Amino acid sequence: MGSSPPNKPPKQPRKVSRIFTFLKPTKREERQLEPSMPEQQTVDKSEHGNIATIVEAVLESNPSGSRDVTKMTGSPELGLLSQQSTGISVKAVVDDARDTSLLPSTNDEVEQPLRCLRPEEYTIGWLCPLEIEIRAALAMLDETHQSLKTQPSGDKNSYHLGRIGGHNVVIVRPYKTGNVSAAMTITSMRTTFTRVGDLLLVGIGGGVPSTPSSDSAFGRVRLGDVVVGTRDDKVPGAIQYDNGKAVDGKFVCTDYLRDPSERFQIALQHLALKREEALQAPRRSDPLQQNLQRLMAVHVQKRWRKKFGFPGRSKDLLFSSTSTHIELAPKQPICDKCDRGALIKQKYDDDEYDPHDVEVQDDYITVHRGIVASGGVIFKDAAQRDAMVKNLGVKNILCFDTEAAGAVMGLPGLVIRGISDYCDAHKPKEDVWHGYAAATAAAYARQLLLYTPAMSGEYIPKSFVETYQEDVANKDLSALYKWLDLPHPLNASNQHKFLREERVNGTGYHFLRNTQFTKWMDFGDVDWAERLLFCFGEPGAGKSFICSLVIDELHDRSDKPLIAYMYCNYRERRKQNIVAILGNLILQLLRACDDSSTDSVRHYMLEWHKLQRRKYVKLESMMFTDVLLVLWEVLTRTSKRVFFCVDALDECDHETQIGLLKALTTVVQASNVAIFVTSRPTLRQLVLNHFGVGRSLNFLQLRAAREDIELYVNVRIDADPLKGYNPRPMDDNLRMEILEKLVSNAEGIFLLPALQIASILEGVNIRQRRKLLKETSNTLTDTFTIMMERVKSQNPQLVALATQTLQWLTLGREILKVEDLQNALAIDSKLSRSCRC
C-alpha cells in the first residue's frame, strides 16, 4: 500500500494555487453574485456560416490535397503565401532559375542543396549589366549559393551569389545600362552586403584600336581581347570622360575613379607573369582558356556554344577610321560591301596577318592594361572615337564603357572589359563578338580572383556558417513564439506542470484502460465524430487531472504525435479569448515540430509571421477565422497525428465556448486530428446542438474511481506530517475507517476525499481524527461549511486573515500570485473594513 511515492508536502508558493484548486467548486456560489450566465444557447448564425464555408471548402478540396486558400478566405496574400510555402524547395528554386537558363545545367548540381550564407560573408561585388555577361559570370562560380531570404526594403536588386576560390561573390545586374543605374545598383548592394569592399566590373566594352597598348608586345587592342583598367602614372585605371572642364581649350578630366585595392593590383601582375609563362607551354594550359572551357561545359546547347565560342579572326575586321560602313540586309555577311581596301592589317609577333585567311584561328586572349574611359555615350563612329581620345589628353585609353564611372565612385574597383567592337560604324548588328568578349572578361575575372588572396576572416568554414544560419532561424522562430505566446498564468505548459506534480502516481489508470478512450487514442481512418471524445464530469470529479494524464499518455506514445492543449480557467476567461487560445495551440504545435518532417510547418509559420510583422499586426487584433485558417494550414502541413486536449470547456465564457467548438469542428476535418474535451455536464446539450442532434458522439462520464480515491487517501496518510509522533496519531484501524468512510462519501467526486483527508489529518491524535472523520459529509457544500466553521473557530486575527485571503482569492478577477496576495493582504485594514459593506 505504501509502495507509491508519498505525496510531497506542499511548498509555500504553491499553497495559494492549492487553495484555489480546492475552492474551485465555490464557483457555483460565485456565479450567484454575477448575472446568470446562459449555459445553452443557439449558435450564432452569422459566424457559424463563415466557419461552415471554410469547412465546406476544406471538405470539398481536401481529398485531392490541393487547396485554393484565396478562394477559401478571399485573402490573396494568404493564398499567395500558401502557394509559395507549399513545395518550396531548393530544387524548385534551381529549376526555376534553370527555366531562364541562368544556372549551370549539369545534372549533379541540381541534386546538391545550395548553401545559404549571411550577407556579411560576401566581400566581392561583380557587376555586369547584360544578360550574356551574367551567364558568363555564373559559369565562373565554383559554387552557387542560395539567394538571401530577406534583404533591406530599400534594396530592389536581384543577386546571384556564389563562391570563386576563397571569395564569396555577389553578382548583380543593374536594371539598365549606364553610369547612373550602375551607381544606384552599387549603393543598394552596399546596404545589404555591408562587407563588400571590392568591385569587379566585368563585361564588354568598345576597344580603341588607335592607341597602342602599353604592353606593346601585344600590339593594339583586338576583338575578344581583355582590357583591364590599370593606373598609368597619375591617371587611374578608369576615368569619367563626360565630367570634366576645358582648360586652355582642352578638355581636362576631373573625375578619376578609385583604384582597385592593392591586393588586386598585385594579383593582376602575378597573373600577367603566369600567363607569359603559359605562352611557352601548350596553349591549353592557359588558365583563361580553361576558364572558357567551363562556360562551354555549362552551355551545351549549340546556340550558346556558338555565342560564347571564338568567332574567328576573319570576323575581326578593323577598317580605317575614315571608312564608311554600308548597311546590308540582315542575312548578308557583315561589311560585305564595305571598302575592303580600308581594312587595317593586324600585327602579331611580327607575322603579317591576313584578315581574309579563314584558317587563322588566333584565339590567344591578350590582356591589355590601360585606361578605361567611362561615360554616357556609345560611340559608333571611329572619327568621333579618336577625337574623344585626343580631346581627353590621356595616354593609353584602350577602351570605352558606360558603367565603370558610376560603379567605381564609391568602392575600390577594377574594370575588366572584353572587347566586342571598335566603337566604329562597322559595328556588326549581329553582335558576333559579344558572347566571346563577355566570356573572356569573365574568364579573366575568375582567374584574377583565384590569384587574389582572401583576407583572413573572409572565408568562413561551412560548419560555422550553418550554425549561424540556425541561429538566425532560431531568432526568427523565437520572435514568432513570443508573438504567439500567452502571459504566464494562461501558459498551458505551466498549468500542466502543476497538475502533473499534484497528481498521485498510479491514479487515473482506470480511465486510460477504458476501451472508449483507447479506441479514440488509437484512431485509424475513421469518421471525424469518432475522433472527438467529450468527457463530462461533476465539479471535483478530477477532470483536469484526467486531462493532464491523457496529455502525458499521448506524449509517451511511440509514434510521437503532435499535442496541443489548453486548460481553461474561469478566472482567466477574459484573457482566454478564442484568438488567444488558438494562437497558443498553434504555438504548441509549432514547438513540437522539431524534425525535418515538419519543416514545412515552420517555414509556413515563419513566412506568415513575416507578413503579419510587416503589417504590424498583433495576435489579439486578428480575426478568429484568420487564426483558425493558420491553424488549419499548420495541420495540413504535417502527416503526423495531432491531438488537441481542451480541459474545462465550461470555464470559458460563452462566446469562447462557441468559438472553440467551431474551431474544433473545423480542425477535426483534418483526418490526422483527434480531440479530447472535458467539461461539466451542463455543456452536454450545447455540444449536442453544435455537432448536430442525432449524430452519435463519443461522450464519456467521468467519475472518481474507488481505486483512485483509496490510492490517494493512502498516499496522504503515508505522508502524514505527524507521522512518528507519540502517541501515534494513526493506526491501521483508523486507516481502514477513513478509507471506508471517504470512499463512500465521495460518490465519484474526487475533491471531497481530497478535502476531507486534509481536514482529518489536522487532528493531532487518533481520538481527534476519528471525531473529524465522523463529521465528514457526502456533499461538497457541507464540507465547505464545516471547513468554514473550523476556520471561524480559530483566534480572531487568524479568522480575519483567513476571511480576507478567501475574499481576495474568490472575488479577485484574476488568479493571484503569492506576491500579489501578500500585497493585497497588506492593504490598510481600515480601507478593507470600509470596503466590506
- Contacting positions for Zn ion (CB under 5 A): 325, 335, 338, 426
Q: The cell 566604329 sits on which residue?
A: 424
Q: Which is nearer to Zn ion, 31 or 340 (CB)?
A: 340
C-alpha cell at 731: 493506526
In angstroms, give the least distance from the CB of 400 to Zn ion: 19
Rounded to whole angstroms, the Cα distance separating 801 from 781 reads: 22
CB contact at 8 A, 516 and 674? no
CA 122 to each of CA 128, 142, 157, 356, 641: distance values in angstroms, whole numbers, following the listed order: 17, 14, 15, 47, 43
- Other beta carbons less than 10 A from residue 118's beta carbon: 17
- Of 339 and 607, nearer to Zn ion (C-beta) is 339
R_g of the chain computed on alpha carbons: 41
Q: Which of 315, 339, 338, 318 is nearest to 430 (CA)?
A: 315
* Cα 173 to Cα 134, 177, 408, 711, 807, distances in angstroms: 7, 9, 15, 76, 72
Which CB atom, from 275 or from 426, has the smaller least distance to Zn ion? 426
Asked if 369 contacts 396 with a C-beta cutoff of 8 angstroms, the reply is no
Least distance between Zn ion and beta carbon 345 (Å): 17
**CB 317, min distance to Zn ion, A:** 7
Closer to Zn ion at the Cβ: 335 or 504? 335
| Cβ neighbours for 50, distance < 8 A, ≥ 6 positions apart | 625
259/421 with CB nearer Zn ion: 421
> Contact, 54 vs 72, CB < 8 A?
yes
Residue 321 beta carbon to Zn ion: minimum distance, rounded to whole angstroms: 12
Alpha helices, DSSP H, located in 503-623: 509-512, 515-521, 543-555, 578-592, 599-614
- Which is closer to Zn ion, CB of 331 or CB of 615? 331
Q: Which residues have CB under 8 Å from 296's CB, separation 6+?
A: 305, 308, 309
Least Å from the CB of residue 419 to Zn ion: 17
Smallest gap from Cβ 458 to Zn ion, in A, equals 48
Distance of alpha carbon 421 from alpha carbon 208, whole angstroms: 9
Q: Which three cell numbers stand for residue 205?
A: 566594352
Tell me the longest C-alpha to C-alpha distance in the chain: 134
Closer Cβ to Zn ion, 427 or 741, answer by number: 427
Distance CA 48, CA 51 (A): 5
CB nearer to Zn ion: pick between 328 and 800: 328
Closer by beta carbon to Zn ion, 340 or else 555: 340
Buried b / exposed e along 19-58 (16+ C-beta atoms within 10 A): ebbbbbbbbeeeeeeeeeeeeeeeeeeeebebbeebbebb
Apex CA 635: angle with CA 631 and CA 637, to 5°? Answer: 120
Shortest Å distance, C-beta 399 to Zn ion: 21
Q: How far is CA 384 from the centre of its chain?
A: 56
Min dist. Cβ of residue 422 to Zn ion (A): 11
Count CB neighbours of 294 within 10 A: 19
- Residue number with CB closer to Zn ion (427 or 662): 427
**CB of 283 vs Zn ion, minimal distance in Å:** 31
Return d(Cα 158, Cα 408) in angstroms, integer. 19
Distance, in Å, from the CA atom of 147 to the CA atom of 155, rounded to the nearest integer, reads 14
Least separation in angstroms between residue 339's CB and Zn ion is 8
Please, which contacts does 175-178 make with residues 24 or more away whose CB atoms are closer than 8 Å? 176/129, 177/129, 177/130, 177/402, 177/403, 178/376, 178/402, 178/403, 178/406
Residue (71 or 340) nearer to Zn ion, CB: 340
End-to-end CA distance of the chain: 51
Cβ proximity to Zn ion, 338 vs 388, nearer residue: 338
The distance of closest approach from Cβ of residue 132 to Zn ion in the complex, given in angstroms and rounded to an integer, is: 23
Question: How far apart are CB 401 and Zn ion at their closest, in Å?
Answer: 22
Q: How far is the CB of 92 from Zn ion (least distance, A)?
A: 48
In one-letter notation, the amino acid at residue 94 is: V
Q: How far apart are CA 805 and CA 798, in angstroms?
A: 10
Distance CA 133, CA 295 (A): 11
Q: Which residues touch 377 (CB under 8 Å, ≥6 apart)?
A: 242, 388, 400, 402
Closest separation in Å from C-beta 380 to Zn ion: 11
Contact of 121 with 115, CB cutoff 8 Å: no
194-209 burial, b for 16+ CB within 10 Å, e for fewer? ebbebbbbbbbbbbbb
Q: How far is the CB of 461 from Zn ion (least distance, A)?
A: 55
- Closest CB to Zn ion among residues 337, 833: 337
Query: Rounded to an integer, what distance in angstroms lies between the CA atom of residue 523 and that of residue 674?
Result: 8
Question: CB of 348: closest distance to Zn ion in angstroms?
Answer: 22
Minimum CB separation of residue 270 from Zn ion in Å reads 40
Minimum Å distance from CB 346 to Zn ion? Answer: 16
Residue nearer to Zn ion on the CB measure, 104 or 311: 311
Closer of 335 and 499 to Zn ion (Cβ): 335
For residues 649 and 229, what is the distance between their CA atoms, to the nearest angstrom? 76
**CB of 275 or CB of 325, closer to Zn ion:** 325
Would you call 533 helix, strand, or coil by DSSP? Answer: strand
Of 325 and 531, which CB lies nearer to Zn ion in the complex structure?
325
Q: Which is nearer to Zn ion, 382 or 667 (CB)?
A: 382
Instruction: Give the dihedral sign, CA 273/171/441/378.
Output: negative
